[in-house]
């Protein structure tokens, strides 16, 4: 199980910058949401303080790296040198680039982690809902189902990790089941899981039974899953045709034609070598990367 990312309290960064960001927390509501959805349990002001601190460190590191690189170059090429103005300008440029790169990286990391968690949740959610439906059909109480599901992390991955927070809110923080569900709805990064849980809350508050709702939702999600896999198989078939035509038949034909032309003296080996050693390997690698990306989705 992936443990939530945590940051130790105190430190130089918080003492230097947290006061500035604490007074502007309302300007970073989106970042706060991203931190919650990424399960990074750190106050916004402390996260931004660390971002600024490490950005400053990165800026100094970039300047130090530039100085070291220049020293190495000068030790190899004695006649190579820069003027002091050029050194100052380049140092400032590298420092600014390193500062903003580190700060943007810190700022975007929660969003990227939340997106990754969303992908993992959506991957396992239809099967988790199927499990919930099966348990509900034999009369198991909803909270007992969610608690049991939270303990099946090896099977349901991030879905189980999300439900651990539900169990924590109920058993450790003393919230009732519906309130804990609402809290999870507000913080889960998955739109599909949010809709599923919100439907459960609405069903419970309207006096309906959760069992039939779980069963119906499970059927809908599995049907959607089957359609998605069908579309994926059709897409793979289309890509396979492009691959056969574009990277098997066409290059093979060109290789034969160019080989004859080279033999007759009408072409050079450069074009033939480019097809064999560049176009075919790079094209195949691109197709592998494309299929791998589609498969993970």
**pLDDT tens-digit map of 265-284:** 766 777 778 888 888 888 88
| 216-220 LR contacts (CB < 8 Å, sep 24+) | 217/129, 217/133, 218/126, 218/129, 218/130, 218/132, 218/133, 219/133
Are the CB atoms for 114 and 189 separated by under 8 Å? yes
How much is the pLDDT for 76? 62
Residue 51: burial class (beta carbons within 10 Å; 0-12, 13-18, 19+): buried
Predicted pLDDT at 164? 93
Structural domain spans, the chain: 12-113, 120-222, 230-296
3-state helix vs strand vs coil in the chain, percent to 5 = 85, 0, 15
Q: How far is CA 186 from CA 42, 83, 197, in A?
A: 17, 57, 10
Query: In the beta sheet, which residues pair with residue 158?
Result: none
Whole-number pLDDT of residue 75: 64
**Residue 284: both structure tokens together:** 């195949």
- What pLDDT sits at residue 289? 86
Q: What is the mean pLDDT of the chain?
A: 83
Phi first, then psi, for residue 15 (nearest 5°) are: -70, -30
> Can you give the pLDDT at residue 99?
93
Q: What is the pLDDT of residue 68?
A: 84
Length of the chain: 297
* Terminal Cα-to-Cα distance of the chain (whole angstroms): 21
| pLDDT at residue 3, rounded to an integer | 45
Q: Convert 63-74 to b/e letters by CB count within 10 Å (16 or more is b).
A: beebeeebeeee
The token pair that represents 47 in the structure block: 């996260």
> How far is the C-alpha of 162 from the C-alpha of 185, rounded, in Å?
10
Q: Supply the DSSP symbol for 69.
A: H
Q: Which parts of the chain sit beneath pLDDT 70? A: 1-11, 14, 73-84, 266-267, 295-297
User: Which helix or strand (DSSP H or E) is residue 32 part of?
Assistant: helix 29-37
Residue 219's pLDDT is 82
Determine the Cα–Cα distance for residues 209 and 203; give it in Å rounded to an integer. Answer: 7
pLDDT digits (tens, 9 = 90+) for 169-220: 999 998 999 999 999 999 999 998 999 999 888 888 887 777 788 888 888 8
Q: What local confidence, expressed as pLDDT, does residue 5 receive?
A: 46
Q: Residues 6 or more apart from 202 whose CB is under 8 A from it? A: none
């Amino acid at each position: 199980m992936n443990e939530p990312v945590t940051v130790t309290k105190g430190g130089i960064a918080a003492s230097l910058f947290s006061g500035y960001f604490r007074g502007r927390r309302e300007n970073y509501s989106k970042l706060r949401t991203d931190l919650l959805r990424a399960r990074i349990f750190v106050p916004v002001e402390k996260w931004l303080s660390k971002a600024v601190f490490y950005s400053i460190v990165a800026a100094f590191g970039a300047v130090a790296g530039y100085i070291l690189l220049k020293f190495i170059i000068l030790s190899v090429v004695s006649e190579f040198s820069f003027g002091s103005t050029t050194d100052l300008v380049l140092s400032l440029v590298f420092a600014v680039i390193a500062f903003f790169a580190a700060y943007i990286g810190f700022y975007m990391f929660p969003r990227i982690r939340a997106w990754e968690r969303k992908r993992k949740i959506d991957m396992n959610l239809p099967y988790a809902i199927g499990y919930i439906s099966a348990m509900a059909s034999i009369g198991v109480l909803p909270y007992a189902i969610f608690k049991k599901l939270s303990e099946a992390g090896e099977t349901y991955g991030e879905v189980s990790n999300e439900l651990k927070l539900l169990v924590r809110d109920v058993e450790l923080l003393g919230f009732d089941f519906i309130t804990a569900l609402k809290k999870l709805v507000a913080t889960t990064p998955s739109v599909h899981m949010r809709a599923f849980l919100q439907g459960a809350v609405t069903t419970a508050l309207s006096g309906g039974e959760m069992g039939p709702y779980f069963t119906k939702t499970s059927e809908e999600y599995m049907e959607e899953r089957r359609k998605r896999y069908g579309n994926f198989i059709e897409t793979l078939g289309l890509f396979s045709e492009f691959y056969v035509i574009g990277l098997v038949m066409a290059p093979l034909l060109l290789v034969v034609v160019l080989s004859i032309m080279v033999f007759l003296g009408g072409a050079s080996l450069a074009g033939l070598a480019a097809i064999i050693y560049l176009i075919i390997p790079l094209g195949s690698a691109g197709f592998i990367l494309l299929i791998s990306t589609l498969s993970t989705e």
